Chains A and B, each alone.
Chain A
Amino acid sequence: MSKRWAKFMAIPVMASMLIAGCTNGDKDSNASATASAGSSAGKPATWVADRKIKGLVFMGTDDYTEDMNPEIKAKIKELTGVDFEIQIMKADHSIDGLIAGLAANDLPDFIAFYLNNSGRPEMPVVLKAAREGMFTDLTPLLKDTKIYSKYEQEGFLPLDTQYGVMFRPEFNGSTYFVHMNVNRQGGYDTRKYVGGPYIRKDIADSLNLDPSTIKTTDQLYELAKKIKDGHFKDTNGKEISPIGPNYWGGQEIGRLFADLEWGDVGQFIKQDKDGKVLHEAETPYAMKKVEYVQKLLKEKLLQPEFFTMDESRSTEGALNGSWGIIADMHNYLEFNQDMHYVPLGPLNAVDGPYQMQVAFKSGYSAWAIPSSTKKPEEVVKFADFLASREGKLLWRYGLEGRDYTLDKDGNPLVKQEVLDLKAKDPNEAKKLGFGGVGNYWGELLGGTDIDYMADFGEMEYGDKLKKDEDQGALKIANYWHWDDKRKAARIVDGYTPNSFLGEFDRGTDLKAAFDNYKDSLVQAYYSKTSEAAQKILDNALKQMKAAGLDDYLKLVADKNNDPKTKVIFDQ
């Protein structure tokens, strides 16, 4: 009898195990967000509440890890009462994760996602969610904070953050996302970046070339020809490609062909001399660029996979010196701290000589609180703690005594052993669990109101102890006359031309047509004749026109005339 029952039971048990194994057992989040118990009497001034705050992060996993260092976690708990936890949503593209996460409608206490500006593809997605009431209105909550209340002060936020991301006119004063990484001072530089094309120094030397004299694409062409005729070799003894792709993988490179590039790459929209806003396809530059690239490809001056090469191969080529010119890289890359590649140009822009452009301030990444979160004011208060100097000290420098000591001004002095560990075993160092060693969990809610020089007496973690590490980068900056260019720089504030696609009625179609134009350009580069190329470009323009390009350009021009929605046409 018992055997028979066992047989009866076995099948349903198997079935239920199968089903149970495929369901999500994670049922915490909001249920765990129990409200603080009792008063905060006798607690530190930084006290928030005795509760759990869990965040879901829709960003890449390089800069954050889900594993918090236990000592750091305990310190957070001691200072604020909060049991902090983050979960990273892994996806091929972070936006796919975001869309799936929102659609699942099962969000924890806060979410964090990429958002460089309101033109990012994430914007329409989070906007839709905000319009449909998925997020908490943060305006009243930000008012009572120390740091975030600055966001409501006139002139603190850059234009795009203020009117494009946060306090959008359609929300009548409400805001549903907090844009992060806003500097305390306008035009504040955290690093002396020199981005753009670089040339191998030994090649420039043997050609007797001063790389800063290359100002136009014609000069670039002549230079590439000389490199080809010089038959230079890479570290494997193979002949190099005169012009190689971007260090991070093949793509369209604006800075290399700057005097043929209409507006920023990816946007291709710019105002002409008469103030008319045009798309690149409507100007002669599109075809000029195509003919130029075709010429380079035909004469084997440009690596044939320049626009499509995957990252690993193009980085490998850069490391092996297989590219005479690297189309785009910057001076902080580890492999070039000995300056064996030096900056080329900068090339002139399409409408005049090069001028450095500095953003007044710019945002990067954002967070929001789902409307299902209980006591959202506690999450905001916790974020405010992380954005304060004390919070930043914790998530940027770790624990006093373990990771740093304080100098006479009260600024952190990083322990040499931590720096040594970071240099020797970055992954082990990352386990210490703070920004300086590569785990930037605190940046999600606390990385804003940034002025590290004023707060900690150094721009970057451990600068005071660094002697040689960044010298290569700074030497390159000096070589490029960064300071002079910075003095002559234009400080700009505004929107990108694509920022308004979300409010344009045929936005989706036009976005598809814009993407198609980008692909069509590459297709045209590889077409056999200029007639075929012209046909490809004409078709792409026709599609954009059909999707409402003319009306959109008019909208961009109108926006640009409004001081609240100024557009930055060059990047």
Chain B
Amino acid sequence: MQQKKTTRSDGRGSALWKSVVQHRYLYYMLLPCIAFFIVFSYIPMGGLLLAFKEYKFNKGILGSPWVGFDYFKTFFSSYQSGQLIKNTLIISAMKLFLYLPFPIILALMFNEVRAKWFKNVSQSVMYLPHFLSWVVVVGLIQRVLAPDTGLLNQLISGMGGDGSTYYMMDPKYFYQIMFGSHLWKSIGWDSIIYMAAISGVNPDMYEAAKIDGAGKLREVWSITLPSIMPTIVILFILSLGNILSAGFDQLYLLRTPGNMQLSDILDTYIIRVGLQSGQYGYATAVGMMQGLIGLVLVVLANRISRKVSDTSLW
């Protein structure tokens, strides 16, 4: 039995090697990509050591003294940690769960548009915001929502309202502004991948459904959605990894003294404490925690998904 198993694994190994040799040019082409990930993703991971060390300028990462889990203790005993984690979770949950259906719905809508020129124009218009940086988008929001002089307030005062609300300073409007701007900026671009999935659905199925007397909505519900479900699930699992990073640039720019209790998240905290005050170790520890929780969530979600459906990352 033992002998048999060894033979089988040897056989599998040599088959693999044969296939590698056979497709060697493809593997050569893969080399730069592998080198890229090693240099820019895996080697920098060594920097995570800093989370357990007190960084000394003259000793470098390896030579600096160990401090164990001190930074983690400091973070969790800090009066800000609870608030920071809560804010981060709320914002990223909104972006994960609440946002999820929007690009799917948009893709389904695009799919049903028949006039080609209209489809092209509207798709381009929806993709454009993706190419604007957050600095521009937040600048735009600031001008539109400015008290007294902003477009919205001018409209309100034109219709006899007050027109002096300082939306950016009022925590009451923070989530709406945050979510609305995220939706506006990302929905078009994120719908592309769903569009691609939809275009891969076998047209015969639609034909069969039509013959069976299915309407448009029934087609969407019973054919399109189930067909693109694997794509949705995989994208969802992947995005779970970012649950503790709620979008640094957007939040950093939207933050005002008025909404800071809601908008201060782990990412902005890392920049403020870690980089601007030079506490590299501490910032690395908080960043590492973010990454680890993300990893655990991705693995868990993947396992659950594999159990309840056939779709999973691995």
Residues on A close to B: CB < 8 A? 7-8, 10-12, 14-15, 18-19, 22, 93, 95-96, 99-100, 102-103, 105, 121, 124-125, 128-129, 132-134, 300, 304-305, 307-308, 310, 371, 508-509, 511-512, 518-523, 526, 543, 546
Chain A residue nearest to B38 in the complex (CB): A19
Q: Which residues of B contact A519 (CB under 8 A)?
A: 257, 260
Q: Which residues of B contact A512 (CB under 8 A)?
A: 80, 272-273
Q: Which residues of A contact B276 (CB under 8 A)?
A: 93, 95-96, 99, 121
On whether the beta carbons of A103 and B55 are closer than 8 Å, the reply is yes
Q: Which residues of B contact A310 (CB under 8 A)?
A: 142
Chain B residue nearest to A252 in the complex (CB): B257
Q: How long is the Cα–Cα vector from A18 to B38 in the complex, in angstroms? A: 12
On whether the beta carbons of A526 and B258 are closer than 8 Å, the reply is yes
Q: Which residues of A contact B25 (CB under 8 A)?
A: 7
Decide: A300 near B164, CB < 8 A? Known: A133-B58, A523-B257.
yes
CB contact between A522 and one of B32, B57, B257 (< 8 Å): that residue: B257
Chain A residue nearest to B40 in the complex (CB): A22
Task: State which size class the interface on B falls in.
Answer: 35 or more
On whether the beta carbons of B32 and A546 are closer than 8 Å, the reply is no
A227 to chain B, nearest CB (A): 16
Q: Which residues of A contact B166 (CB under 8 A)?
A: 304-305, 526
Contact of B117 with A by CB under 8 A: no
Decide: A543 near B79, CB < 8 A? Known: A7-B25, A19-B35.
yes
On whether the beta carbons of A22 and B39 are closer than 8 Å, the reply is yes
List of 5 A-B pairs having minimum Cβ-Cβ separation, nearest first: A522-B257, A11-B28, A304-B147, A519-B257, A15-B32
Q: How long is the Cα–Cα vector from A531 to B42 in the complex, in angstroms? A: 53
On whether the beta carbons of B275 and A305 are closer than 8 Å, the reply is no
B261 to chain A, nearest CB (A): 8
Q: Which residues of B contact A543 (CB under 8 A)?
A: 79
Q: How long is the Cα–Cα vector from A562 to B128 in the complex, in angstroms? A: 63
Q: How long is the Cα–Cα vector from A134 to B60 in the complex, in angstroms? A: 12
Q: How long is the Cα–Cα vector from A10 to B31 in the complex, in angstroms? A: 11
Q: How long is the Cα–Cα vector from A512 to B260 in the complex, in angstroms? A: 13
On whether the beta carbons of A124 and B277 are closer than 8 Å, the reply is yes
Contact of B9 with A by CB under 8 A: no
CB contact between A132 and one of B31, B58, B79, B279 (< 8 Å): that residue: B58
Q: How long is the Cα–Cα vector from A129 to B57 in the complex, in angstroms? A: 6
Q: Which residues of A contact B258 (CB under 8 A)?
A: 522-523, 526
Q: How long is the Cα–Cα vector from A238 to B257 in the complex, in angstroms? A: 29
Contact of B10 with A by CB under 8 A: no
On whether the beta carbons of B275 and A96 are closer than 8 Å, the reply is yes
Q: How long is the Cα–Cα vector from A512 to B75 in the complex, in angstroms? A: 13
Contact of B280 with A by CB under 8 A: yes
Q: How long is the Cα–Cα vector from A308 to B170 in the complex, in angstroms? A: 13
Q: Besides A11-B28, A304-B148, 10 other CB < 8 A contacts?
A: A93-B276, A96-B276, A124-B277, A129-B57, A304-B146, A308-B169, A509-B78, A512-B272, A512-B273, A521-B257
Q: How long is the Cα–Cα vector from A522 to B258 in the complex, in angstroms? A: 7
Q: How long is the Cα–Cα vector from A15 to B80 in the complex, in angstroms? A: 45
Chain B residue nearest to A238 in the complex (CB): B149
Q: How long is the Cα–Cα vector from A513 to B36 in the complex, in angstroms? A: 42
A131 to chain B, nearest CB (A): 9
On whether the beta carbons of A103 and B257 are closer than 8 Å, the reply is no
Contact of B208 with A by CB under 8 A: no
Chain B residue nearest to A516 in the complex (CB): B260
Q: What are 22 A-to-B residue pairs whose CB atoms are below 8 Å?
A: A11-B28, A14-B32, A18-B35, A18-B36, A19-B35, A93-B276, A95-B276, A99-B275, A121-B277, A129-B57, A132-B58, A304-B147, A305-B146, A508-B273, A508-B277, A509-B78, A512-B272, A522-B169, A522-B256, A522-B258, A526-B258, A546-B79
A478 to chain B, nearest CB (A): 37
Contact of B278 with A by CB under 8 A: yes
On whether the beta carbons of A125 and B58 are closer than 8 Å, the reply is no
Q: Which residues of B contact A12 (CB under 8 A)?
A: 31
Chain B residue nearest to A129 in the complex (CB): B57
Q: How long is the Cα–Cα vector from A96 to B283 in the complex, in angstroms? A: 14
Q: How long is the Cα–Cα vector from A520 to B273 in the complex, in angstroms? A: 18
Q: Which residues of A contact B142 (CB under 8 A)?
A: 310
Q: How long is the Cα–Cα vector from A8 to B36 in the complex, in angstroms? A: 19
On whether the beta carbons of A128 and B57 are closer than 8 Å, the reply is yes
Q: How long is the Cα–Cα vector from A125 to B57 in the complex, in angstroms? A: 10
On whether the beta carbons of A308 and B256 are closer than 8 Å, the reply is yes
On whether the beta carbons of B60 and A105 are closer than 8 Å, the reply is yes
CB contact between B57 and one of A103, A308, A518 (< 8 Å): that residue: A103
Chain B residue nearest to A515 in the complex (CB): B272
B285 to chain A, nearest CB (A): 14
Chain A residue nearest to B30 in the complex (CB): A11
Q: How long is the Cα–Cα vector from A122 to B260 in the complex, in angstroms? A: 25
B283 to chain A, nearest CB (A): 11
B227 to chain A, nearest CB (A): 38
Q: Which residues of A contact B28 (CB under 8 A)?
A: 7-8, 10-11
Q: Which residues of B contact A508 (CB under 8 A)?
A: 273, 277, 279
Chain B residue nearest to A16 in the complex (CB): B35
Q: Which residues of A contact B169 (CB under 8 A)?
A: 308, 522-523, 526
Decide: A102 near B79, CB < 8 A? Known: A7-B25, A18-B32, A508-B273.
no
Q: How long is the Cα–Cα vector from A523 to B257 in the complex, in angstroms? A: 5
